[in-house]
Amino acid sequence: MALGSMAIPACPSGSICLFTGDNFDGKSWEWTKKDGYHDMPADFHDNVGSFVASTDGCFINWHPKEARPVNSGDYRINYGGDFGNRIDGVDAVC
Ligand SMILES: [Ca+2]
């Protein structure tokens, strides 16, 4: 795929949309900020390949705790080599 041809998927306002694969591929899961902290579903535990954020939030790894603030409008197409391989949950604030 040529650079620049990637379509960033729509994610509802107030949500962060996460994918098990790179480039918004694989299984998808939508975290909604109004519901507050949520553990990652089993398939997404330490296994987020990409995401797009339509709200602010915070990715969290436990033991030891690490937090990664996320801002509305952020997206990553290859998060598996970064915090995506450690993520345990999403919260509204860090
Ligand atoms: Ca982890």
Q: Does the residue 7 lie in any domain?
A: no
- Please say if the pLDDT value at position 88 is more than 70: yes
Q: Structural domain of residue 50, as residue ranges?
A: 15-91
- Residues with Cβ < 8 Å from 85, sequence gap 6 or more? 46, 47, 48
Q: Does the residue 81 lie in any domain?
A: yes
Tell me how far the alpha carbon of residue 1 lies from the centroid of ligand 1, in angstroms.
Answer: 31
Tell me how far the alpha carbon of residue 54 lies from the centroid of ligand 1, in angstroms.
Answer: 23
Give the pLDDT confidence of 64-85 residue by residue, as tens digits.
999 999 999 999 999 999 999 9
Q: Does the residue 10 lie in any domain?
A: no
Kindly report the average pLDDT of the chain as a whole number: 95
Give, for 4, the enclosing helix (H) or strand (E).
Answer: none
| Percent of the chain at pLDDT exceeding 90 | 93
- Identify the CATH number of the domain in which residue 53 sits: 2.60.20.10
The domain tally of the chain equals 1
pTM of the shown model: 0.92
Tell me how far the alpha carbon of residue 4 lies from the centroid of ligand 1, in angstroms.
Answer: 31
What does the alpha-carbon distance between residue 15 and residue 30 come to, in Å, rounded to a whole number?
6
* Contact indicator for 84, 49 with CB cutoff of 8 Å: yes
pLDDT of residue 7: 85
